[in-house]
Chain A
Amino acid sequence: MSVLSSPRRIAVASGKGGTGKTTVAVGLALVGGRCQLLDCDVEEPNAHLFLQPAIAETEAVTTPVPTVDQERCNRCGRCAAACQFHALAVMGRQVLVFPELCHGCGACALACPEAAIREAPRQVGVVERGRAGQVAFVQGRLNVGEPMATPVIRAVKAHLDPRQLAFIDTAPGTACPVVEAVKGSDLCLLVTEPTPFGLADLRLAVEVMEMLAVPCGVVINRAGPGDRATEEFCRSKGVPLLGRIPFDRRIAEAYARGIHPTRALPEVGRRLAEILYRALGGPGGVR
Protein backbone atom coordinates (compact mmCIF):
# COMPACT_ATOMS: atom_id res chain seq x y z
CA MET A 1 0.00 0.00 0.00
CA SER A 2 1.41 3.34 -1.01
CA VAL A 3 -0.43 5.25 1.75
CA LEU A 4 1.69 3.43 4.30
CA SER A 5 4.15 5.68 6.04
CA SER A 6 5.27 2.85 8.27
CA PRO A 7 4.19 -0.73 8.74
CA ARG A 8 1.23 -1.14 11.03
CA ARG A 9 -0.04 -3.95 13.19
CA ILE A 10 -3.83 -4.00 13.22
CA ALA A 11 -5.84 -6.29 15.49
CA VAL A 12 -9.50 -7.09 14.85
CA ALA A 13 -11.55 -7.80 17.97
CA SER A 14 -15.09 -7.63 19.38
CA GLY A 15 -16.70 -8.25 22.74
CA LYS A 16 -19.54 -10.22 21.23
CA GLY A 17 -18.92 -13.29 19.11
CA GLY A 18 -20.18 -13.65 15.57
CA THR A 19 -20.13 -9.96 14.71
CA GLY A 20 -17.82 -10.42 11.71
CA LYS A 21 -14.24 -10.23 13.02
CA THR A 22 -13.00 -12.90 10.67
CA THR A 23 -14.86 -11.43 7.70
CA VAL A 24 -13.20 -8.07 8.38
CA ALA A 25 -9.73 -9.45 9.16
CA VAL A 26 -9.63 -11.64 6.03
CA GLY A 27 -11.21 -8.86 3.95
CA LEU A 28 -8.56 -6.37 5.04
CA ALA A 29 -5.82 -8.85 4.20
CA LEU A 30 -7.37 -9.40 0.75
CA VAL A 31 -7.37 -5.67 0.00
CA GLY A 32 -4.13 -4.98 1.89
CA GLY A 33 -1.60 -6.04 -0.74
CA ARG A 34 1.49 -7.76 0.63
CA CYS A 35 0.71 -8.41 4.27
CA GLN A 36 0.50 -10.93 7.06
CA LEU A 37 -2.68 -12.39 8.52
CA LEU A 38 -2.41 -14.01 11.94
CA ASP A 39 -5.38 -15.98 13.22
CA CYS A 40 -5.08 -15.70 17.01
CA ASP A 41 -8.55 -17.12 17.70
CA VAL A 42 -6.82 -20.38 18.52
CA GLU A 43 -9.89 -21.94 20.13
CA GLU A 44 -11.87 -21.67 16.90
CA PRO A 45 -9.58 -20.53 14.06
CA ASN A 46 -11.71 -19.79 10.98
CA ALA A 47 -9.78 -17.37 8.78
CA HIS A 48 -8.26 -20.25 6.81
CA LEU A 49 -11.72 -21.31 5.68
CA PHE A 50 -12.01 -18.13 3.59
CA LEU A 51 -8.40 -17.53 2.73
CA GLN A 52 -7.72 -21.17 1.75
CA PRO A 53 -3.96 -20.85 2.20
CA ALA A 54 -1.56 -23.62 1.31
CA ILE A 55 -0.11 -24.64 4.68
CA ALA A 56 3.61 -25.23 4.27
CA GLU A 57 4.80 -25.66 7.84
CA THR A 58 3.37 -26.95 11.10
CA GLU A 59 5.10 -26.66 14.44
CA ALA A 60 4.08 -27.95 17.86
CA VAL A 61 3.33 -25.45 20.64
CA THR A 62 4.45 -26.67 24.02
CA THR A 63 4.40 -25.35 27.55
CA PRO A 64 6.90 -26.42 30.20
CA VAL A 65 5.42 -28.75 32.79
CA PRO A 66 7.26 -30.03 35.87
CA THR A 67 8.41 -33.59 36.25
CA VAL A 68 9.52 -34.59 39.70
CA ASP A 69 12.55 -36.80 40.26
CA GLN A 70 11.07 -38.91 43.06
CA GLU A 71 14.59 -40.10 44.07
CA ARG A 72 15.78 -36.59 44.81
CA CYS A 73 12.46 -35.30 46.15
CA ASN A 74 12.28 -35.12 49.94
CA ARG A 75 8.55 -34.29 49.91
CA CYS A 76 9.06 -30.99 51.67
CA GLY A 77 6.04 -29.61 49.83
CA ARG A 78 7.60 -26.28 48.87
CA CYS A 79 6.73 -26.80 45.20
CA ALA A 80 3.06 -27.32 46.00
CA ALA A 81 3.08 -24.32 48.31
CA ALA A 82 4.72 -22.14 45.65
CA CYS A 83 2.26 -23.17 42.92
CA GLN A 84 -0.62 -20.69 42.79
CA PHE A 85 -2.58 -22.90 40.42
CA HIS A 86 -2.76 -26.12 42.47
CA ALA A 87 -0.93 -28.02 39.76
CA LEU A 88 1.21 -29.93 42.26
CA ALA A 89 0.22 -31.83 45.39
CA VAL A 90 2.17 -33.97 47.83
CA MET A 91 0.24 -37.18 48.28
CA GLY A 92 1.83 -39.61 50.72
CA ARG A 93 5.26 -40.46 49.36
CA GLN A 94 4.69 -38.87 45.96
CA VAL A 95 4.37 -35.47 44.38
CA LEU A 96 1.53 -35.48 41.87
CA VAL A 97 1.44 -33.12 38.87
CA PHE A 98 -1.80 -31.99 37.19
CA PRO A 99 -0.59 -30.74 33.79
CA GLU A 100 -3.86 -29.01 32.69
CA LEU A 101 -3.65 -26.71 35.70
CA CYS A 102 -0.02 -25.77 35.11
CA HIS A 103 0.66 -22.26 33.79
CA GLY A 104 4.28 -23.08 32.97
CA CYS A 105 5.63 -20.38 35.27
CA GLY A 106 8.49 -22.42 36.74
CA ALA A 107 7.87 -21.34 40.35
CA CYS A 108 7.92 -24.97 41.53
CA ALA A 109 11.37 -25.63 40.09
CA LEU A 110 12.66 -22.39 41.59
CA ALA A 111 11.20 -23.29 44.99
CA CYS A 112 12.61 -26.82 45.13
CA PRO A 113 15.64 -27.00 47.48
CA GLU A 114 16.73 -30.41 46.12
CA ALA A 115 16.74 -29.51 42.41
CA ALA A 116 14.35 -32.40 41.96
CA ILE A 117 12.07 -30.66 39.47
CA ARG A 118 12.83 -30.60 35.78
CA GLU A 119 10.53 -29.03 33.25
CA ALA A 120 9.55 -30.96 30.17
CA PRO A 121 7.61 -29.65 27.16
CA ARG A 122 3.98 -30.68 26.84
CA GLN A 123 2.12 -30.05 23.60
CA VAL A 124 -0.99 -27.86 23.88
CA GLY A 125 -1.53 -26.93 20.25
CA VAL A 126 0.04 -26.22 16.89
CA VAL A 127 1.02 -23.25 14.76
CA GLU A 128 0.50 -23.57 11.01
CA ARG A 129 2.05 -21.31 8.39
CA GLY A 130 1.37 -20.84 4.73
CA ARG A 131 0.49 -18.40 2.04
CA ALA A 132 -2.45 -17.36 -0.12
CA GLY A 133 -1.48 -14.97 -2.91
CA GLN A 134 0.15 -11.93 -1.32
CA VAL A 135 -0.99 -12.89 2.17
CA ALA A 136 1.46 -14.63 4.48
CA PHE A 137 -0.73 -16.62 6.84
CA VAL A 138 -0.13 -17.92 10.38
CA GLN A 139 -2.70 -19.60 12.60
CA GLY A 140 -2.75 -21.30 15.96
CA ARG A 141 -4.89 -24.22 16.97
CA LEU A 142 -5.43 -25.13 20.61
CA ASN A 143 -5.82 -28.85 21.32
CA VAL A 144 -9.40 -29.71 22.29
CA GLY A 145 -9.67 -30.08 26.07
CA GLU A 146 -6.79 -27.70 26.80
CA PRO A 147 -8.00 -24.74 28.84
CA MET A 148 -5.25 -22.19 28.22
CA ALA A 149 -5.06 -20.45 24.87
CA THR A 150 -2.38 -17.88 25.66
CA PRO A 151 0.74 -20.00 24.98
CA VAL A 152 -0.58 -20.80 21.49
CA ILE A 153 -1.39 -17.14 20.84
CA ARG A 154 2.15 -16.17 21.88
CA ALA A 155 3.55 -18.78 19.52
CA VAL A 156 1.51 -17.37 16.62
CA LYS A 157 2.65 -13.83 17.38
CA ALA A 158 6.28 -14.94 17.46
CA HIS A 159 5.94 -15.07 13.65
CA LEU A 160 5.00 -11.38 13.32
CA ASP A 161 7.21 -9.72 10.75
CA PRO A 162 7.87 -6.14 11.90
CA ARG A 163 8.60 -5.05 8.32
CA GLN A 164 5.13 -5.91 7.08
CA LEU A 165 1.57 -4.73 7.50
CA ALA A 166 -0.07 -7.34 9.72
CA PHE A 167 -3.68 -8.14 10.63
CA ILE A 168 -4.48 -10.12 13.76
CA ASP A 169 -7.81 -11.92 14.11
CA THR A 170 -8.76 -12.52 17.76
CA ALA A 171 -11.19 -14.55 19.85
CA PRO A 172 -14.36 -12.84 21.08
CA GLY A 173 -14.56 -11.59 24.64
CA THR A 174 -12.57 -9.33 26.95
CA ALA A 175 -10.32 -11.77 28.83
CA CYS A 176 -6.78 -13.08 28.54
CA PRO A 177 -6.97 -14.54 25.01
CA VAL A 178 -8.02 -11.15 23.63
CA VAL A 179 -5.43 -9.27 25.68
CA GLU A 180 -2.66 -11.60 24.53
CA ALA A 181 -3.67 -11.23 20.88
CA VAL A 182 -4.15 -7.44 20.87
CA LYS A 183 -1.19 -6.44 23.06
CA GLY A 184 1.45 -4.50 21.13
CA SER A 185 -0.87 -3.60 18.22
CA ASP A 186 -0.83 -0.09 16.76
CA LEU A 187 -4.58 -0.16 16.34
CA CYS A 188 -7.51 -2.40 17.15
CA LEU A 189 -10.63 -2.50 14.98
CA LEU A 190 -13.70 -3.36 17.02
CA VAL A 191 -16.35 -5.03 14.92
CA THR A 192 -19.87 -4.67 16.26
CA GLU A 193 -23.47 -5.13 15.19
CA PRO A 194 -26.22 -2.57 15.76
CA THR A 195 -28.14 -4.47 18.47
CA PRO A 196 -28.21 -3.99 22.25
CA PHE A 197 -26.01 -7.11 22.53
CA GLY A 198 -23.50 -5.67 20.10
CA LEU A 199 -23.41 -2.31 21.85
CA ALA A 200 -23.15 -3.74 25.37
CA ASP A 201 -20.19 -5.86 24.33
CA LEU A 202 -18.61 -3.01 22.34
CA ARG A 203 -18.56 -0.92 25.52
CA LEU A 204 -16.61 -3.69 27.26
CA ALA A 205 -14.22 -4.06 24.35
CA VAL A 206 -13.48 -0.31 24.35
CA GLU A 207 -12.69 -0.54 28.07
CA VAL A 208 -10.19 -3.31 27.31
CA MET A 209 -8.47 -1.18 24.67
CA GLU A 210 -8.29 1.76 27.06
CA MET A 211 -6.59 -0.43 29.64
CA LEU A 212 -4.18 -1.78 27.05
CA ALA A 213 -3.58 1.74 25.73
CA VAL A 214 -4.24 0.50 22.18
CA PRO A 215 -6.07 3.06 19.98
CA CYS A 216 -9.25 1.68 18.50
CA GLY A 217 -11.76 2.32 15.76
CA VAL A 218 -15.21 0.83 15.23
CA VAL A 219 -16.65 -1.05 12.26
CA ILE A 220 -20.41 -1.62 12.23
CA ASN A 221 -21.30 -4.87 10.51
CA ARG A 222 -24.86 -5.67 9.38
CA ALA A 223 -25.34 -1.92 9.49
CA GLY A 224 -28.81 -0.50 9.08
CA PRO A 225 -31.48 1.62 10.76
CA GLY A 226 -30.36 0.62 14.26
CA ASP A 227 -26.90 2.22 13.97
CA ARG A 228 -27.67 5.41 15.85
CA ALA A 229 -27.02 4.12 19.39
CA THR A 230 -23.61 2.83 18.27
CA GLU A 231 -22.80 6.13 16.54
CA GLU A 232 -23.69 8.06 19.69
CA PHE A 233 -21.56 5.77 21.81
CA CYS A 234 -18.56 6.24 19.48
CA ARG A 235 -18.97 10.01 19.61
CA SER A 236 -19.24 10.08 23.38
CA LYS A 237 -16.08 7.97 23.69
CA GLY A 238 -14.17 9.81 20.99
CA VAL A 239 -13.67 6.53 19.13
CA PRO A 240 -13.73 6.95 15.35
CA LEU A 241 -16.32 5.03 13.37
CA LEU A 242 -14.16 3.75 10.52
CA GLY A 243 -16.86 2.28 8.35
CA ARG A 244 -19.87 0.07 7.91
CA ILE A 245 -20.71 -3.10 6.10
CA PRO A 246 -24.43 -3.03 5.27
CA PHE A 247 -26.90 -5.70 6.26
CA ASP A 248 -27.49 -7.80 3.17
CA ARG A 249 -28.75 -11.36 3.05
CA ARG A 250 -26.49 -11.98 0.03
CA ILE A 251 -23.47 -11.37 2.28
CA ALA A 252 -24.76 -13.91 4.80
CA GLU A 253 -25.39 -16.44 2.01
CA ALA A 254 -21.93 -15.95 0.47
CA TYR A 255 -20.37 -16.39 3.92
CA ALA A 256 -22.45 -19.53 4.43
CA ARG A 257 -21.04 -20.95 1.20
CA GLY A 258 -17.50 -20.23 2.33
CA ILE A 259 -17.09 -17.40 -0.17
CA HIS A 260 -15.60 -14.26 1.27
CA PRO A 261 -18.16 -11.44 0.88
CA THR A 262 -15.58 -9.27 -0.94
CA ARG A 263 -15.61 -11.87 -3.72
CA ALA A 264 -19.41 -12.07 -3.84
CA LEU A 265 -20.18 -8.32 -3.61
CA PRO A 266 -17.58 -5.84 -4.90
CA GLU A 267 -19.29 -3.23 -2.69
CA VAL A 268 -17.95 -5.02 0.39
CA GLY A 269 -14.38 -4.91 -0.94
CA ARG A 270 -14.70 -1.19 -1.58
CA ARG A 271 -15.98 -0.62 1.97
CA LEU A 272 -13.11 -2.63 3.43
CA ALA A 273 -10.57 -0.71 1.38
CA GLU A 274 -12.03 2.52 2.81
CA ILE A 275 -11.85 1.12 6.32
CA LEU A 276 -8.23 0.15 5.79
CA TYR A 277 -7.40 3.57 4.37
CA ARG A 278 -8.87 5.26 7.45
CA ALA A 279 -7.21 2.74 9.76
CA LEU A 280 -3.86 3.63 8.24
CA GLY A 281 -4.40 7.27 9.06
CA GLY A 282 -6.42 8.57 6.10
CA PRO A 283 -9.03 11.34 6.55
CA GLY A 284 -11.76 10.46 9.05
CA GLY A 285 -9.47 7.87 10.55
CA VAL A 286 -7.44 7.29 13.63
CA ARG A 287 -5.24 10.14 14.97
Chain B
Amino acid sequence: MKELVVISGKGGTGKTTLVGSFAALTGRSVLADCDVDAPDLHLLLHPTVQAQEEFAGGAEAVIDRERCTGCGRCRAACRFEAITPGFTVERINCEGCGACRVVCPADAVELRERVAGDWFRGETAYGPMVYARLRPTEENSGKLVALVRKEARAWAEREQIDLLLTDGPPGIGCPVIASLGHADLALVVTEPTPAGVHDLERALQLCRHFGVPALVCVNKFDLNPALDEQVRQYCARQQIAVTTSIPFDDAVPQAIGQGVPLTELDGGPASRAVAALWQEVQAALGRAGGEPGT
Protein backbone atom coordinates (compact mmCIF):
# COMPACT_ATOMS: atom_id res chain seq x y z
CA MET B 1 0.00 0.00 0.00
CA LYS B 2 1.14 3.55 -0.75
CA GLU B 3 0.35 6.57 1.36
CA LEU B 4 0.29 10.10 -0.02
CA VAL B 5 0.08 12.87 2.56
CA VAL B 6 -0.83 16.38 1.45
CA ILE B 7 0.59 19.19 3.59
CA SER B 8 1.29 22.88 3.05
CA GLY B 9 2.83 24.79 5.92
CA LYS B 10 0.54 27.74 5.24
CA GLY B 11 -3.17 27.11 5.62
CA GLY B 12 -5.74 27.60 2.89
CA THR B 13 -3.49 26.74 -0.05
CA GLY B 14 -5.79 23.98 -1.32
CA LYS B 15 -4.91 20.73 0.47
CA THR B 16 -8.48 19.53 0.89
CA THR B 17 -9.49 20.53 -2.64
CA LEU B 18 -6.64 18.38 -3.95
CA VAL B 19 -7.31 15.37 -1.73
CA GLY B 20 -11.04 15.45 -2.57
CA SER B 21 -10.24 15.62 -6.29
CA PHE B 22 -7.66 12.83 -6.09
CA ALA B 23 -10.23 10.64 -4.34
CA ALA B 24 -12.72 11.24 -7.16
CA LEU B 25 -10.12 10.78 -9.91
CA THR B 26 -8.78 7.52 -8.55
CA GLY B 27 -12.21 6.06 -7.84
CA ARG B 28 -11.28 3.92 -4.87
CA SER B 29 -8.85 4.64 -2.06
CA VAL B 30 -8.88 5.02 1.71
CA LEU B 31 -9.18 8.62 2.90
CA ALA B 32 -7.76 9.99 6.14
CA ASP B 33 -8.46 13.55 7.26
CA CYS B 34 -5.63 14.41 9.63
CA ASP B 35 -6.63 18.04 10.12
CA VAL B 36 -8.28 17.12 13.40
CA ASP B 37 -8.56 20.78 14.49
CA ALA B 38 -10.65 21.84 11.53
CA PRO B 39 -11.61 18.81 9.44
CA ASP B 40 -13.24 19.72 6.11
CA LEU B 41 -12.73 16.78 3.75
CA HIS B 42 -16.05 15.29 4.84
CA LEU B 43 -17.77 18.40 3.46
CA LEU B 44 -16.65 17.33 -0.03
CA LEU B 45 -16.93 13.56 0.25
CA HIS B 46 -19.99 13.21 2.53
CA PRO B 47 -19.19 9.93 4.27
CA THR B 48 -22.03 7.96 5.79
CA VAL B 49 -20.78 7.47 9.35
CA GLN B 50 -20.64 3.83 10.40
CA ALA B 51 -18.91 4.20 13.73
CA GLN B 52 -18.00 6.98 16.12
CA GLU B 53 -15.67 6.63 19.10
CA GLU B 54 -14.29 8.89 21.77
CA PHE B 55 -10.58 9.59 21.86
CA ALA B 56 -8.89 9.63 25.24
CA GLY B 57 -5.90 11.92 24.90
CA GLY B 58 -3.78 12.40 27.97
CA ALA B 59 -4.80 13.17 31.49
CA GLU B 60 -6.08 15.94 33.70
CA ALA B 61 -5.55 16.52 37.38
CA VAL B 62 -8.48 16.49 39.77
CA ILE B 63 -8.06 17.59 43.39
CA ASP B 64 -10.08 15.84 46.09
CA ARG B 65 -11.27 18.68 48.30
CA GLU B 66 -11.84 16.38 51.26
CA ARG B 67 -8.22 15.30 51.33
CA CYS B 68 -6.63 18.61 50.30
CA THR B 69 -4.97 20.37 53.23
CA GLY B 70 -4.31 23.56 51.29
CA CYS B 71 -0.53 23.32 51.75
CA GLY B 72 0.07 24.90 48.33
CA ARG B 73 2.82 22.57 47.13
CA CYS B 74 0.84 21.69 44.01
CA ARG B 75 0.50 25.34 43.05
CA ALA B 76 4.22 25.84 43.53
CA ALA B 77 5.05 22.78 41.44
CA CYS B 78 2.67 23.52 38.56
CA ARG B 79 4.41 25.31 35.69
CA PHE B 80 1.22 25.85 33.70
CA GLU B 81 -0.72 28.03 36.14
CA ALA B 82 -3.43 25.41 36.23
CA ILE B 83 -4.13 25.42 39.97
CA THR B 84 -6.24 28.22 41.39
CA PRO B 85 -5.68 29.80 44.83
CA GLY B 86 -8.73 27.81 45.95
CA PHE B 87 -7.03 24.56 44.81
CA THR B 88 -9.23 23.70 41.90
CA VAL B 89 -7.78 22.81 38.50
CA GLU B 90 -8.22 25.11 35.49
CA ARG B 91 -8.98 22.45 32.93
CA ILE B 92 -7.84 24.53 29.96
CA ASN B 93 -4.43 25.18 31.49
CA CYS B 94 -3.81 21.67 32.82
CA GLU B 95 -1.08 19.91 30.85
CA GLY B 96 -1.86 16.57 32.53
CA CYS B 97 1.75 16.25 33.66
CA GLY B 98 1.02 15.14 37.21
CA ALA B 99 3.71 17.26 38.88
CA CYS B 100 1.00 18.26 41.39
CA ARG B 101 0.34 14.62 42.22
CA VAL B 102 4.05 13.95 42.75
CA VAL B 103 4.35 16.67 45.39
CA CYS B 104 0.98 16.30 47.16
CA PRO B 105 1.62 15.01 50.71
CA ALA B 106 -2.08 14.23 51.25
CA ASP B 107 -2.57 12.05 48.17
CA ALA B 108 -5.38 14.40 47.13
CA VAL B 109 -4.60 14.57 43.40
CA GLU B 110 -5.90 12.10 40.91
CA LEU B 111 -4.96 12.02 37.23
CA ARG B 112 -8.03 11.21 35.17
CA GLU B 113 -8.22 10.21 31.55
CA ARG B 114 -9.47 13.06 29.46
CA VAL B 115 -11.71 12.74 26.42
CA ALA B 116 -10.01 15.04 23.95
CA GLY B 117 -11.79 14.21 20.71
CA ASP B 118 -14.02 11.98 18.65
CA TRP B 119 -13.19 9.94 15.60
CA PHE B 120 -15.35 8.57 12.84
CA ARG B 121 -15.32 5.79 10.29
CA GLY B 122 -17.47 6.23 7.22
CA GLU B 123 -17.99 5.13 3.66
CA THR B 124 -17.80 7.62 0.77
CA ALA B 125 -18.54 7.19 -2.94
CA TYR B 126 -14.78 6.88 -3.40
CA GLY B 127 -13.86 4.52 -0.58
CA PRO B 128 -13.68 4.30 3.19
CA MET B 129 -12.82 7.40 5.18
CA VAL B 130 -11.48 7.96 8.69
CA TYR B 131 -11.63 11.41 10.24
CA ALA B 132 -11.67 12.99 13.65
CA ARG B 133 -12.37 16.11 15.59
CA LEU B 134 -10.37 17.34 18.48
CA ARG B 135 -12.67 18.88 21.04
CA PRO B 136 -12.14 22.64 21.24
CA THR B 137 -9.15 23.73 23.37
CA GLU B 138 -7.91 20.15 23.83
CA GLU B 139 -4.35 18.95 23.38
CA ASN B 140 -2.80 15.86 21.92
CA SER B 141 -3.81 16.46 18.34
CA GLY B 142 -0.68 14.52 17.32
CA LYS B 143 -1.92 11.40 19.08
CA LEU B 144 -5.33 11.72 17.47
CA VAL B 145 -3.72 12.11 14.05
CA ALA B 146 -1.67 8.96 14.69
CA LEU B 147 -4.88 7.13 15.57
CA VAL B 148 -6.65 8.31 12.39
CA ARG B 149 -3.77 7.13 10.23
CA LYS B 150 -3.50 3.79 12.03
CA GLU B 151 -7.21 3.10 11.59
CA ALA B 152 -7.12 4.17 7.95
CA ARG B 153 -4.17 1.89 7.29
CA ALA B 154 -5.86 -1.04 9.01
CA TRP B 155 -8.96 -0.48 6.91
CA ALA B 156 -6.92 -0.34 3.71
CA GLU B 157 -5.33 -3.67 4.61
CA ARG B 158 -8.65 -5.29 5.49
CA GLU B 159 -10.22 -4.24 2.22
CA GLN B 160 -7.02 -4.70 0.24
CA ILE B 161 -7.04 -1.14 -1.06
CA ASP B 162 -3.56 -0.13 -2.16
CA LEU B 163 -3.78 3.66 -1.79
CA LEU B 164 -4.18 5.86 1.27
CA LEU B 165 -4.81 9.58 0.72
CA THR B 166 -4.08 11.65 3.81
CA ASP B 167 -5.22 15.27 4.13
CA GLY B 168 -2.76 16.94 6.48
CA PRO B 169 -3.09 19.94 8.80
CA PRO B 170 -1.41 23.32 8.27
CA GLY B 171 1.73 24.28 10.19
CA ILE B 172 4.83 22.26 11.03
CA GLY B 173 4.11 21.27 14.65
CA CYS B 174 3.00 18.08 16.32
CA PRO B 175 -0.08 17.18 14.23
CA VAL B 176 1.91 17.71 11.01
CA ILE B 177 4.79 15.62 12.30
CA ALA B 178 2.28 12.89 13.21
CA SER B 179 0.75 13.08 9.70
CA LEU B 180 4.07 12.85 7.92
CA GLY B 181 6.12 10.08 9.52
CA HIS B 182 6.65 7.01 7.30
CA ALA B 183 4.42 8.28 4.49
CA ASP B 184 5.58 7.24 1.01
CA LEU B 185 5.29 10.72 -0.44
CA ALA B 186 4.40 14.22 0.76
CA LEU B 187 2.72 16.57 -1.70
CA VAL B 188 3.45 20.07 -0.41
CA VAL B 189 0.92 22.57 -1.74
CA THR B 190 1.90 26.20 -1.85
CA GLU B 191 0.80 29.46 -3.44
CA PRO B 192 2.97 32.09 -5.13
CA THR B 193 2.86 34.54 -2.23
CA PRO B 194 5.67 35.51 0.13
CA ALA B 195 3.85 33.70 2.95
CA GLY B 196 3.28 30.58 0.84
CA VAL B 197 6.92 30.41 -0.20
CA HIS B 198 8.24 31.11 3.31
CA ASP B 199 6.07 28.32 4.71
CA LEU B 200 6.94 25.96 1.85
CA GLU B 201 10.60 26.16 2.78
CA ARG B 202 9.84 25.19 6.38
CA ALA B 203 7.49 22.38 5.31
CA LEU B 204 10.19 20.98 2.99
CA GLN B 205 12.75 21.15 5.79
CA LEU B 206 10.33 19.15 7.90
CA CYS B 207 9.97 16.48 5.16
CA ARG B 208 13.76 16.25 4.97
CA HIS B 209 14.04 16.05 8.76
CA PHE B 210 11.70 13.04 8.80
CA GLY B 211 13.04 11.46 5.59
CA VAL B 212 9.81 11.68 3.59
CA PRO B 213 10.22 12.33 -0.16
CA ALA B 214 8.46 15.52 -1.22
CA LEU B 215 6.79 16.79 -4.36
CA VAL B 216 5.72 20.43 -4.66
CA CYS B 217 2.59 21.88 -6.23
CA VAL B 218 1.93 25.60 -6.81
CA ASN B 219 -1.74 26.57 -6.60
CA LYS B 220 -3.13 29.85 -8.00
CA PHE B 221 0.24 30.20 -9.78
CA ASP B 222 -0.96 33.00 -12.08
CA LEU B 223 -1.46 35.39 -9.14
CA ASN B 224 2.28 35.93 -9.32
CA PRO B 225 3.98 33.98 -12.13
CA ALA B 226 7.39 35.35 -11.13
CA LEU B 227 7.12 33.77 -7.70
CA ASP B 228 5.87 30.53 -9.26
CA GLU B 229 9.08 30.50 -11.29
CA GLN B 230 11.10 31.27 -8.15
CA VAL B 231 9.54 28.24 -6.41
CA ARG B 232 10.50 26.08 -9.39
CA GLN B 233 14.09 27.31 -9.27
CA TYR B 234 14.31 26.85 -5.50
CA CYS B 235 12.98 23.29 -5.82
CA ALA B 236 15.35 22.53 -8.70
CA ARG B 237 18.26 23.55 -6.46
CA GLN B 238 16.90 21.31 -3.71
CA GLN B 239 16.35 18.52 -6.27
CA ILE B 240 12.64 18.38 -5.50
CA ALA B 241 10.20 17.80 -8.36
CA VAL B 242 7.42 20.31 -9.03
CA THR B 243 4.10 19.28 -10.56
CA THR B 244 1.91 21.10 -13.04
CA SER B 245 0.79 24.38 -11.46
CA ILE B 246 -2.88 25.12 -10.85
CA PRO B 247 -4.37 28.42 -12.10
CA PHE B 248 -6.58 30.74 -10.06
CA ASP B 249 -10.13 29.65 -10.90
CA ASP B 250 -13.50 30.67 -9.45
CA ALA B 251 -14.58 27.04 -9.90
CA VAL B 252 -12.59 26.17 -6.75
CA PRO B 253 -14.75 28.12 -4.25
CA GLN B 254 -17.81 27.11 -6.30
CA ALA B 255 -17.00 23.41 -5.87
CA ILE B 256 -16.52 23.94 -2.12
CA GLY B 257 -19.81 25.86 -2.05
CA GLN B 258 -21.59 22.95 -3.68
CA GLY B 259 -19.76 20.38 -1.58
CA VAL B 260 -18.29 18.41 -4.48
CA PRO B 261 -14.71 17.59 -5.48
CA LEU B 262 -13.42 20.19 -7.97
CA THR B 263 -12.88 17.62 -10.72
CA GLU B 264 -16.53 16.54 -10.47
CA LEU B 265 -17.77 20.12 -10.95
CA ASP B 266 -16.45 20.97 -14.38
CA GLY B 267 -13.57 20.55 -16.79
CA GLY B 268 -12.29 24.10 -16.29
CA PRO B 269 -8.65 25.19 -16.10
CA ALA B 270 -8.03 24.32 -12.42
CA SER B 271 -9.82 21.00 -12.78
CA ARG B 272 -7.74 20.06 -15.84
CA ALA B 273 -4.53 21.00 -14.05
CA VAL B 274 -5.48 18.87 -11.03
CA ALA B 275 -6.17 15.89 -13.30
CA ALA B 276 -2.75 16.33 -14.92
CA LEU B 277 -0.92 16.67 -11.64
CA TRP B 278 -2.67 13.58 -10.26
CA GLN B 279 -0.96 11.61 -13.04
CA GLU B 280 2.36 13.09 -11.93
CA VAL B 281 1.71 12.32 -8.27
CA GLN B 282 0.88 8.71 -9.13
CA ALA B 283 4.09 8.39 -11.09
CA ALA B 284 6.04 9.77 -8.14
CA LEU B 285 4.30 7.26 -5.89
CA GLY B 286 5.43 4.53 -8.26
CA ARG B 287 1.91 3.59 -9.23
CA ALA B 288 0.96 2.40 -12.68
CA GLY B 289 -0.90 4.81 -14.95
CA GLY B 290 1.08 7.92 -14.13
CA GLU B 291 3.54 10.00 -16.11
CA PRO B 292 6.72 11.31 -14.52
CA GLY B 293 6.57 14.85 -13.16
CA THR B 294 8.39 17.77 -14.72
Select from chain A the residue with minimum beta-carbon distance to B116. A175
- The interface size bin for chain A is 35 or more
Query: Is B96's CB within 8 Å of the partner chain A?
Result: yes
Query: Is B149's CB within 8 Å of the partner chain A?
Result: no
Residue in B43, B96, B102, B202 whose beta carbon sits within 8 Å of that of A197 in the complex: B43
- Interface bits B95-115 vs A (CB < 8 Å: 1, else 0): 111110011000000010000
What is the bound-complex CA distance between A278 and B179, given in angstroms? 40
B9, A44: Cβ atoms under 8 Å? yes
A175, B37: Cβ atoms under 8 Å? yes
B199, A147: Cβ atoms under 8 Å? no
| Docked complex: A149-198 residues within 8 A CB-CB of B | 149, 171-179, 183, 193, 195-197
What is the bound-complex CA distance between A111 and B102, given in angstroms? 6
Residue in A142, A208, A257 whose beta carbon sits within 8 Å of that of B137 in the complex: A208
B172, A142: Cβ atoms under 8 Å? yes
Query: Is A282's CB within 8 Å of the partner chain B?
Result: no
B134, A175: Cβ atoms under 8 Å? yes
Query: Is A73's CB within 8 Å of the partner chain B?
Result: no
What is the bound-complex CA distance between A43 and B142, given in angstroms? 15
Residue in B111, B133, B227, B248 whose beta carbon sits within 8 Å of that of A84 in the complex: B111
Q: Which of B24-32, B123-131, B189-197 contacts A (4 or more CB under 8 A)?
A: B189-197
Q: Smallest distance from the beta carbon of A40 to chain B beta carbons, Å?
A: 12
A84, B97: Cβ atoms under 8 Å? yes
Residue in B79, B195, B223 whose beta carbon sits within 8 Å of that of A105 in the complex: B79
Query: Is B52's CB within 8 Å of the partner chain A?
Result: no
A103, B97: Cβ atoms under 8 Å? yes
Query: Is B40's CB within 8 Å of the partner chain A?
Result: yes
Query: Is B122's CB within 8 Å of the partner chain A?
Result: no
Residue in A149, A172, A174, A258 whose beta carbon sits within 8 Å of that of B11 in the complex: A172
- Interface bits A122-165 vs B (CB < 8 Å: 1, else 0): 00000000000000000000101111110000000000000000
What is the bound-complex CA distance between A195 and B250, given in angstroms? 12
A-B contact pairs, 19 of them (CB 8 A): A16-B40, A43-B171, A43-B176, A44-B172, A82-B98, A110-B99, A111-B102, A145-B210, A149-B173, A174-B38, A176-B139, A183-B92, A195-B257, A196-B257, A197-B256, A204-B38, A255-B193, A256-B191, A256-B224
Could you list which residues of chain A lie within 8 angstroms of chain B, going by C-beta atoms? 15-19, 22, 43-44, 46, 49-50, 82, 84-85, 103-107, 110-111, 142, 144-149, 171-179, 183, 193, 195-197, 200-201, 204, 207-208, 211-212, 222, 226, 249, 252-253, 255-258
